[in-house]
């Protein structure tokens, strides 16, 4: 039976994705195989519980799939028998909440990175549940605009932190997980590393691994890992029961089996040699884009990047992040407005966040990053009409086919 409204929406969304330069660092394009699993009969089954202990019949296949997904994640991150992986969290925020609830009591202290510094809402911001359930203390950046690990350790000890969370959504520099682990030890706290953004880089060995220095590692699966929308929690074996119990039945009901299967497929893809090649190109493209933007006079937060993303400070242009985001979208470029250090409003911030995972999946290389920087200059600085730039963007994207 036809549903023309939704069919038209899906067709026009595919056209939008094909014709757009997508620089939102948390987005990517999952493979056709992953999308097929997400739309497969696996969506029809309830499997509350865990492999070997389900609360519904008919789950032999789902035990196999869930075990495979967890085993592949362990392989992707080179984890030994002392680690356990739970692939059931519906999202990254839920995975973080589950990790905190497994490691501390409501009212105890959660030390996480502030939003404007580059942290995530689920790292203790007052508007999200972890910031309300726990006594949230937020760290920022040092006077050089970089993480000040001595200060983080001092805060952890002063506030008797029970959990220190490391991880970023817009801080463009590599994280020193060893220093976070050290601070946690000194304070008698647990270290939760949220690697949602950088998981693909960690898997490829292109960013230092948090695993030797953390008790629990959480991640989404749809960013640099290029899997389905979903999440996982990896924890040291000692915490396995607590983590599993908080995820189900504590916070969730039945796992989304179609997502679990797609996570298993993501693991399969991440274990192939071309995955590392892809992650290397993500980094090369990010470096090239940062250099090209700086050459054209843009100011980047911390003056560059070590990872897959960077943040443009739009205030010298002068533009607000919202205006810049709107102009770029009208030119066929998606990059999201983002708070930068010192900003008070996440709705009207001064920055625009830019990343390379999605354009690298489309097949773009360093020379294309230089062209993108040129589009930015024309739209944001030279104030050329976005509609005329959009035509060039659409023509350019025809060279990088998507789902054809
Ligand atoms: N919303 C994601 C991001 O864009 O970074 C984090 O959850």
Closest ligand 1 atom to the C-alpha of 24?
Answer: 4
β pairing state of 135-139 and 109-113? parallel
With beta carbons less than 8 A apart as the criterion, state whether 97 and 248 touch: no
Domain spans in the chain, listed from the N-terminal domain onward: 33-270, 274-397
Centre of ligand 1 from the C-alpha of residue 206, in Å: 21
Q: Read off the pLDDT of residues 294-305 as tens digits, 9 standing for 90 and up.
A: 999 999 999 999
DSSP character for 98? H
What is the average per-residue pLDDT within 71-98? Answer: 98
Percent of the chain topping pLDDT 70: 100
Whose tokens are 């590392």? That residue is 276
pLDDT at position 184: 98
pLDDT at position 372: 98
Q: Read off the pLDDT of residues 236-282 as tens digits, 9 standing for 90 and up.
A: 999 999 999 999 999 999 999 999 999 999 999 999 999 999 999 99
DSSP H helical ranges for 104-141: 129-133
With beta carbons less than 8 A apart as the criterion, state whether 310 and 172 touch: yes
120 lines ligand 1 (CB under 6 A): yes
Q: Read off the pLDDT of residues 23-46 as tens digits, 9 standing for 90 and up.
A: 999 999 999 999 999 999 999 999
pLDDT at position 121: 97
Domain 33-270 has CATH 3.40.640.10: yes
What is the SS3 string spanning 248-285?
Answer: HHHHCCCCCHHHHHHHHHHHHHHCCHHHHHHHHHHHHH
Centre of ligand 1 from the C-alpha of residue 259, in Å: 19
pLDDT at position 140: 97
Q: Using CA positions, which residue lies closest to atom 2 of ligand 1?
A: 26
pLDDT at position 201: 98
What is the rounded CA–CA span in Å between residue 119 and residue 276? 26
| Consecutive H or E run containing 139 | strand 135-139
Centre of ligand 1 from the C-alpha of residue 92, in Å: 9
pLDDT at position 152: 98
Q: What is the reported pTM?
A: 0.98
pLDDT at position 298: 98
Q: Read off the pLDDT of residues 119-176 as tens digits, 9 standing for 90 and up.
A: 999 999 999 999 999 999 999 999 999 999 999 999 999 999 999 999 999 999 999 9
pLDDT at position 29: 98
pLDDT at position 24: 98
Centre of ligand 1 from the C-alpha of residue 104, in Å: 25
Mean pLDDT of the chain: 98
Q: Which residues contact 243 (CB under 8 A, 6 or more apart)?
A: 84, 86, 98, 99, 102, 216, 233, 235
Q: Read off the pLDDT of residues 198-248 as tens digits, 9 standing for 90 and up.
A: 999 999 999 999 999 999 999 999 999 999 999 999 999 999 999 999 999
26 lines ligand 1 (CB under 6 A): yes
pLDDT at position 143: 95
pLDDT at position 364: 98
Residues annotated as part of the active site: 46, 48, 194, 220, 223, 229
Q: Which CATH architecture has domain 274-397?
A: Alpha-Beta Complex (3.90)
With beta carbons less than 8 A apart as the criterion, state whether 305 and 284 touch: no
């Amino acid at each position: 039976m036809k549903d023309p409204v939704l069919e038209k929406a899906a067709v026009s969304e595919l056209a939008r994705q094909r014709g757009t330069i997508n620089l939102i660092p948390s987005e990517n394009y999952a493979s056709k195989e992953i999308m097929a699993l997400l739309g497969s009969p696996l969506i029809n089954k309830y499997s509350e519980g865990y492999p070997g202990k389900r609360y519904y019949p008919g789950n032999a296949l789902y035990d196999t799939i869930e075990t495979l997904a967890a085993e592949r994640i362990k392989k992707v991150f080179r984890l030994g028998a002392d680690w356990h992986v739970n692939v059931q969290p519906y999202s990254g925020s839920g995975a973080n909440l589950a990790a905190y609830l497994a490691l501390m009591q409501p009212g105890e202290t959660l030390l996480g990175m502030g939003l404007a510094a580059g942290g995530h809402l689920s790292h203790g911001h007052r508007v999200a549940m972890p910031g309300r359930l726990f006594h949230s203390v937020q760290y920022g950046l040092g006077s050089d605009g970089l993480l000040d690990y001595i200060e983080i350790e001092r805060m952890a000890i002063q506030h008797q932190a029970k959990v220190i969370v490391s991880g970023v959504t817009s801080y463009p520099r590599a994280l020193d997980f060893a220093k976070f682990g050290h601070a946690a030890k000194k304070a008698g706290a647990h270290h939760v590393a949220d690697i949602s953004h950088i998981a693909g880089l960690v898997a490829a060995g292109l960013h230092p691994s948090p695993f030797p220095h953390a008790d629990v590692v959480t991640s989404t699966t749809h960013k640099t890992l290029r899997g389905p929308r979903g999440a996982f929690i990896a924890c040291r074996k000692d915490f396995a029961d607590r983590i599993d119990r908080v995820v189900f039945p504590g916070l969730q009901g039945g796992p989304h089996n179609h997502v679990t299967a797609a996570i298993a497929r993501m693991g399969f893809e991440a274990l192939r040699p071309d995955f590392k090649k892809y992650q290397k190109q993500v980094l090369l493209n990010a470096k090239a884009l940062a250099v090209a933007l700086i050459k054209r006079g843009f100011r980047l937060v911390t003056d560059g990047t070590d990872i897959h993303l960077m943040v443009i400070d739009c205030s010298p242009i002068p533009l607000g992040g919202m205006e810049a985001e709107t102009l770029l979208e009208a030119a066929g470029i998606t990059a999201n407005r983002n708070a930068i250090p010192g900003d008070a409003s996440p709705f009207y911030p001064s920055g625009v966040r830019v990343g390379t995972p999605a354009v690298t999946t489309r097949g773009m290389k360093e020379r294309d990053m230089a062209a993108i920087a040129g589009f930015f200059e024309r739209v944001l600085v030279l104030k050329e009409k976005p509609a005329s730039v959009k035509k060039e963007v659409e023509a350019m994207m025809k060279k990088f086919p998507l789902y054809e």
